[in-house]
Structures are given as structure tokens and as C-alpha cells.
Chains A and B, each alone.
Chain A
Amino acid sequence: MADLMEAPAPARRLGRLERPAILGVLVRETINFSSYWKSATFSSTVEPTIYLLAFGFGFGALVSKVNGYSYVQFVGTGTVATAVLFSAAFPAMFGTFVKYQFQRTYDAILAAPVDTEELVTAEALWVATRAGVYGCVPMLVAMVFGLDPAWGMLTVPLIAFLAGFGWACFGIMIAGYAKAIENFNYVVSAVLTPLFLVAGTFFPISGLPRWARVLAELNPLHHCVELVRHAAFGFHATDPLRVLALVLFAFVVWRVAIRAMTRKLIS
């Protein structure tokens, strides 16, 4: 019996993706958020709202119906994805680079019992949470202009969170590979702007040539747009596949972001 009573040997290593490490990084972000939430909220909500109003009223005057919806309804649901992109990819890209290069925050965090994997995951979770909240703003604005509430809309924060996690990891990944902050211009112009325009936000993908429609199916932003639209107007049978596409996107960029940041932070 005596040997059954023996205390277990102390663990020689801490595990991976530990809750206290992730929470520690999240605490840092939430406390910091109290000092810059106004500017972050402003840029993440006003910009998509301007798109919504400009396109909604500008194009709305020319186009009365798109795919059976009024143009404001069409754009109001579509710009949720825009808000997610703006509030996830951009802060992740710039924030990561600034914290790594200029504030050296990550040096301090990695000297504590936090590994790069936990750091990247926590940062992405934080940005995704913000995207989940900010992503709903254009939809709420659109409601003021005639978008009817629907029960399905309650899933929109979740869709925005999932897509936001992917775009946050995408931003962290870019920051991990970028040698200088100026290099972000290439990514914004060559990757994010085309993805943003060919996502079905402002015009339906169905009007595009076949090759562009195929490419659009590879665009995670397009799946986000479609899911939000279906959340507002009724889900389709193919929507679980779109969710799967977003999960796949998030998982791949998450792992690549961890790899990129490990290379950058651990020499």
C-alpha cells in the first residue's frame, strides 16, 4: 500500500497550449485595450459603415434588387465580412510587428512561462473576439436602414469570430515573415484588396466569369460573406461546407503563423 501513497514525481515540463499562459497574454491585451479602445473601435466600425452607406445609397439608387434582396440588405450583410477583415487582419499585422520590433513586448512575454505557440494563439483569440463584436456593427447599421432582424443573425458573432481568428492568424503570419513594416503594402495591395473586392460583398459572384467564380470559392472572405447573408435570409444546405472552409483556413494559417513567429522570436 505504501508505494500507492507516494506523491507523484513533479512534472519536468509544462504542457503545450496551457490555459494560464493564454489567459496571461489575454489579460495583457484587455488591460492595454482600456488605453486605446476608442481609436480601435472607431476605425473598425466607421470604415465599414462608410462603405455600407456609400455603396448602399450610391449603388442602391441604380440597383433596386440583387439576388432578390434590396441593395442595402445585400451590402449590409456583405460588409460584415469587410468589418471582420479590417478589425482582424490589419491590427494583427501591425500590432504584431510593433509589439515584436518596436515595443519588444514579446521578448518580455517569452521570458515568462509562455511559449510562442501560446502567444500566437492568445493574440489571435483576442483579435478574433474583437472581430466577432465589431463585425456585427454594419449589420446593426443596416437594420436602421431596413434590414429585417432574423434569429439566424444570432450566429453572426460566431461566424465573425471564426473568420476573425483566421484573418488574425493571417496577419500574424505576414508580420512573422515581413522584414520591414513597409512590406505590408505588398500584402495589402496584392492580396487583401483583391480578396476584399471579389468576395461578393458589393456585387454577386454569380455575375463573374467562370474562372473568377472558382477563385472566389477559394476566398475565405467570400465564405464569410455568404454565411452572414444566409444567417440573415435563411441558411442553405451547403453552408456547413462553408463553415468547414473557414475552419480549414483558420487552422492552416494558425499553424503557419506559429511557425513564422517561432522563427522570428526564437533565434
Chain B
Amino acid sequence: MGQFPVRISWNRPAGSILPVPDLAISLRGVVKRYGSITAVDGLDLDVPTGTCVGLLGPNGAGKSTTMRLLTAQSIADEGEIDVLGFRLPGESKMARAQCGVVPQLDNLDTTLTVEQNLIVFSHLYRIGRDERRPAIERALEIANLVERRDSRVDKLSGGMRRRLLIARALVHQPRLLLMDEPTVGLDPQVRQELWALIDALRVQGTTILMSTHYIEEAQRLADTVLVMSHGKAVAGGPPAQLIADHAGQEAVEVYGLPDRLAEVEAAALRDGLRTRRTGTSIAVLGVERIDGNAPEGIRRATTLEDVFVLLTGEEID
């Protein structure tokens, strides 16, 4: 695949906006219940301006609910939510005017063209008459869809539709971009293409909150990661830091029969090390601490996936 061409001009008109708060998003003790289910359970979350924060967690951890709370499409039962300095839900409309949202489920108008979809959102986001045309051109360029402007959405590939969703979210040059599982269900090649696009936005200084259950995505794109499980934040920090804190530097991967794996697991626990099962093997984490006594196996660097499984459990319940 060729390099994804990204040309982004990101100068916003001076004097048209409120001062930028240090925290683009701040959640304190947020609780959201649906009947007897507590989807978000006392969540604290900070997204500093100009950074990309990844919400990482298994399905059902409360990531999507958190994203909906940020646009006041869900209303929290407890806690405080501030977005771009606005208190939700009361001031949510002001916040929404300056946020771009990439939803998990494609909700483009499929019988319209690429350009028509952007025209609609240039109106919904209240771009002035004279600004609309350049805004749409800029969004088409960011998403590399200039050539497909007249294509109907139902004729586009899955990757192009995702790019259009991102272009649509950027048409009004938002100060904050919210992306809910931006690459879910896409081929690896298409995913890489989107990563290049998101990374370019990040480098330009766009503030991004992105939820994902793809560990590699969080590791590559996020400045800091918040690991969620059962509606709570279980750990947070830069990916490298999280790995060092929770899984050490190196792991040994031991393959074998169940009895042998159980033995290795027991030995590692005696040595004060943490382990994770991968299905076919057992990984002993942080083995650099017991060099010489490490079990026989394949050495590898620890990953965010090790942390993810340690923190969110080996089984999904």
C-alpha cells in the first residue's frame, strides 16, 4: 500500500472561540445505570488539550456509553462532566457545536453523494455561507475523497465510508474529536490507512478521545490510555508506562500440555511474577527480574495486550 497522502491545514479563525481549557474533557465520579445494569461506575477521565487519549476495554466495559455521555445522548445519573469547558448536560449544545463525532455504526445518508453528506453536516454544524465551500473541500482532502466527491455512499468501499465519517466529523474544524471504535470491522490494510489519517490529525494537535478494543490501535495512536473494565477505569497512563508498571519488560511464552502449563504458572507465582494464559500457551511476565531462573520458552517483549488481559481478566463475562 502506498503512503496515505495527508495534507491538513488546521488554522482556525482567530477571535471566534472561547479560550481553550487545559482539559478538553473532564469526568469526575460519573455513574450511568440502565435499570439494574451499571454501565459506567464512578469513572474519572481527563483528556488534556492537544493529546490523544485511548479508552481501551473489552466489549461491554462502558466505552460506548462514555462516548454517548460526552454528547449528552446519554445523561449521567451521578458525577460531573465537562467538555471544552462546558458543563453537561445543560451546556451540551455549546460543546457539541465544537466537537466532531465519528460513530461506531455508520450513519451516513447512503443514497446521497459524498459531497452531499458533507453539505448536510456543514449546515448542521452551522458553518457560515461563505465558509461552507472551503470547509467541504478541506474535509474532502483530509479524507482523500476529492476524486469520489460525486459517488453515492452506497457505492463506496467500507474504508472509504469510514474516511467519509471522519471527514464529516471534521468539516467544521472541531476542537475535539470523539471517535467510537473508528476501525471496527475493517481489513488490516484499511485499518492502517485510517491509522495514518488519525495519526496525522494527532500530530497536528487535534485533541482526540478514541475508544477501541484493538490493543494495537491504542498502542500506536494514543498518548495516554485508560483501561476500562466493568464501567471503571482500572489503569491509565502512556502505553509504555502501563506496560512497564504492570507487565515488566520481557515475557517468556511457554507452550505445552495443560499439566506443564499449570506447573509453570505455579512456579512463576512462587517467584512473585504475574502470568497470563493465551489459550495455547502461558506467558510469564517480567522475567527479567528472575534471570537465570526463567522457564524455558520463547522470549519476547511485553505488550499492552499483556496489560490488557492482566487488568480486564482472562475471561470475558
In the assembled complex, the Cα of A158 lies from the Cα of B202 at a distance in Å of: 52
Is the pair B111, A110 in contact by a Cβ cutoff of 8 Å? no
Q: Is the CB of A24 within 8 A of B94?
A: no
Contacts A13-B91, A266-B73 given; does A28 touch B86 at CB 8 Å: no
Given contacts A35-B111, A112-B121, contact A266 B94 (CB under 8 A): no
Set of chain B residues within 8 Å of A107, measured between Cβ atoms: 73, 103, 105, 107
In the bound complex, CA of A11 to CA of B90 (Å) = 12
CB neighbours (8 Å) of A21 from chain B are 124
Which residue of B is nearest A106, CB measured? B107
Encode B97-115 as 1/0 by CB contact (under 8 A) with A: 1010101011101111000
Is A152 among interface residues, defined by CB-CB distance under 8 A? Answer: no
Closest Cβ of chain B to A13, distance in Å, is 5
A27 interface residue per 8 A CB criterion: yes
Distance (whole angstroms) from the CB of A101 to the closest CB of chain B: 11
Q: Given that A105-B109, A111-B73 are known contacts, is A12 also in contact with B94, CB under 8 Å in the complex? A: yes
Residue of A with least CB distance to B86: A12
Asked if B125 is an interface residue, CB under 8 A from chain A, the answer is yes
- Residues 111-149 of B at the A interface (beta carbon under 8 Å): 111-112, 116, 119-121, 123-126
Residues A31 and B71 in contact, CB atoms below 8 Å apart: no
Contact A266 B111 (CB under 8 A): no
* CB within 8 Å of B: which A1-49 residues: 10-14, 20-21, 23-25, 27-28, 31-32, 35-36
Q: Establish whether residues A14 and B107, one from each chain, have CB atoms under 8 Å apart when the complex forms.
A: no
Assess A36 versus B107: contact at CB under 8 Å? Given A12-B86, A24-B123, A25-B124: no
Main secondary structure of the interface of A (DSSP, over half): helix
The answer, among A31, A36, A103, A112, for a CB contact under 8 Å with B96, is: A112
* Contact indicator B107/A105 (Cβ below 8 Å): yes
Please name all residues of chain B whose beta carbon is closer than 8 Å to the beta carbon of A10 when the two chains form the complex.
18
| CA A26 to CA B137, docked complex, whole Å | 22
- Contact: B72 with A114, CB < 8 Å? no
| Given A35-B111, A112-B96, A112-B124, CB of A27 within 8 Å of CB of B73 | no
Q: CB < 8 Å: which of A31, A109, A113, A267 contacts B97?
A: A113
Kindly identify which residue among A20, A23, A111 contacts B103, using a CB–CB cutoff of 8 Å: A111
CB <8 Å contact, A112 and B72: no
In the assembled complex, the Cα of A107 lies from the Cα of B67 at a distance in Å of 12
How long is the Cα–Cα vector from A21 to B90 in the complex, in angstroms? 17
* A12-B94 Cα distance, complex, nearest whole Å: 7
In the complex, whether B38 has a CB less than 8 A from a CB of chain A is: no
**Contacts A32-B109, A266-B75 given; 19 further ones with Cβ under 8 A?**
A10-B18, A12-B94, A24-B125, A24-B126, A27-B119, A31-B112, A35-B111, A35-B112, A104-B103, A104-B105, A105-B107, A105-B109, A108-B168, A110-B71, A111-B71, A112-B124, A113-B93, A113-B125, A115-B93
A-B contact list, 17 entries, CB within 8 Å: A12-B86, A13-B91, A13-B93, A14-B93, A21-B124, A24-B120, A24-B124, A27-B123, A31-B116, A104-B106, A107-B105, A108-B168, A111-B103, A112-B96, A112-B124, A113-B96, A266-B74
Binding site for A on B (CB under 8 A): 18, 34, 68, 71-75, 86, 90-91, 93-94, 96-97, 99, 101, 103, 105-107, 109-112, 116, 119-121, 123-126, 168
**Residues of A at under 8 Å CB distance from B?**
10-14, 20-21, 23-25, 27-28, 31-32, 35-36, 103-105, 107-115, 265-267
